[in-house]
Amino acid sequence: MDTPHDRESLEEIRDALKNNNPALAIAKIQEYLDKQNKTPLNIAITGECGSGKSTFVNSFRGVDNKAEGAAPTGCVETTSVVTPYAHPNYPNVTLWDLPGVGTTKFPADQYLNHVGFETFDFFIIISATRFTENDVKLAREIKRMGKKFYFVRSKIDSDLYNERRSQREFNETETKELIRDNCIQGLQEQGIQSPQVFLVSSFELHLHDFSLLHETLERELPEHKRNALLFAMPNISQQIINKKKEAFHDKIKYVATLSAAAAAVPVPGLSIAVDVALLAGVVTQYIFGFGLDIPSLKRLAGNTGVPFNDLMSVITSPLAATKITPALIIKVLTQGASTAALMVAEEGSRFIPIIGIPAAMALSFTTTYRALNGFLNKLADDAQKVFEKALRRNTTD
């Protein structure tokens, strides 16, 4: 998506290149790439005592309940103040664990001011049973103040387990529909019109309604916030991985355009230096977005019980689970004969009279576009294989 921010950044980088200032150009490129991950998204999580707010916060962030930096969980109210929890890979995305409405001295209309209503982009109201009068009062106040709220019925895994043990003829789909209808009926009785309730297990985000919740949030968020949500989402489905891949792919043409602009400056070695800086920055984004960095893989191993080495065993890209450096990018690029040939041709063509600069720009665009597209495809494939490896363990245990 071509935004005013994209166009402004591209112009600044082109100006630096035209003025033969490669250091400034590379700095502007890094600034441009960094800004892609700085759109703030603040998600408020609230609900009654024991509803599973903190576990939801941890699960969304891919953090085990017992890990350092996790939101504290327990069978009693553990949240007494508004507490922010930044996403490990995307600190611009923050989940805020709020005190339960019924656990504070503030009524619903004062509660929102107490917790800093304006901070949040939307609210998720969580309940482990039927939604209460306090939940409904809060929802009305949120609506009155012009923001979105979403009802999440948590601990669905426990409900299904108990029903499976107690019923002679258990049907999971019918049981979930009964739970959902019961919640909806309760909300309607309290005056909420056309409520939508999402059934979620924080220990099994790939099941039930979490994907539907994401689709709803994505549809209703402002456009500039959608990618912030998407990249922070755990890889709970092939669809999420594909959406991340598509969003990354949409940006490749801008990066290739920057590469072409650098090729127009007749300074030996400049284009390659800019290309490598570009590629390293973008590939690092791919690694974090797909959760293929070592800390993310270790968190996934801890959460799923799949050994870290087993997850690593299905990864094939030399760029995954390692620090992305210019030297590594050059090494991987030169392993491909066609890419290496394009780089040599670009560097040589720049100094051909008249046609040299246009030819170098075209070659630079093509080289960068092909390289990023290839890196992206391989890393997305690795993300899918890691997801399937973790999922198989979760569904067979």
Predicted confidence (pLDDT) per residue in 170-192, tens digit = 999 999 999 999 999 999 999 99
Q: What pLDDT shows up at residue 397?
A: 46
Nearest one of 252, 377, 245 to 319, comparing CA atoms:
377
The dihedrals phi and psi of 69, each to the nearest 5 degrees, come to 90, 0
Q: HSE on the CB side for 233, CA within 13 Å?
A: 28
Q: What pLDDT shows up at residue 90?
A: 93
User: Per-residue pLDDT tens for 117-153?
Assistant: 889 999 999 999 999 998 999 999 999 989 999 999 9
Strand-pair category, 93-97 with 83-86: antiparallel
**Average pLDDT of the chain?**
85
Question: What's the pLDDT band for 103 if we cut at 50, 70, 90?
Answer: low
Residue pair 150/125 in contact by the 8 Å Cβ criterion: yes
**pLDDT reading at 319 higher than 90:** yes
Return the structure tokens found at 71: 């939101």
Name the maximum alpha-carbon separation found in the chain.
84
C-alpha span between 59 and 38 (Å, rounded): 22
Domains and CATH numbers, the chain: 4-35+235-396 (no CATH), 41-232 (3.40.50.300)
Q: Which of 80 and 60 is assigned the larger pLDDT?
A: 60
- What letter represents residue 189's amino acid? E
Residue pair 308/297 in contact by the 8 Å Cβ criterion: yes
Helices (H) and strands (E) in the chain, counts: 16, 6
Proportion of the chain above pLDDT 70, given as a percent: 82
The partner residues of 199 in beta bridges, in order of sequence, read 153
Q: What angle do CA 178, 183, 188 make, to 5 degrees?
A: 120
Average of per-residue pLDDT across 275-296: 92
Give the start-end residues of each E strand in 79-202: 83-86, 93-97, 122-127, 148-153, 197-199
Sign of CA dihedral 95, 96, 99, 101: negative
User: Per-residue pLDDT tens for 251-269?
Assistant: 898 788 777 777 666 655 5
Non-local (6+) Cβ contacts of 24 within 8 A are 16
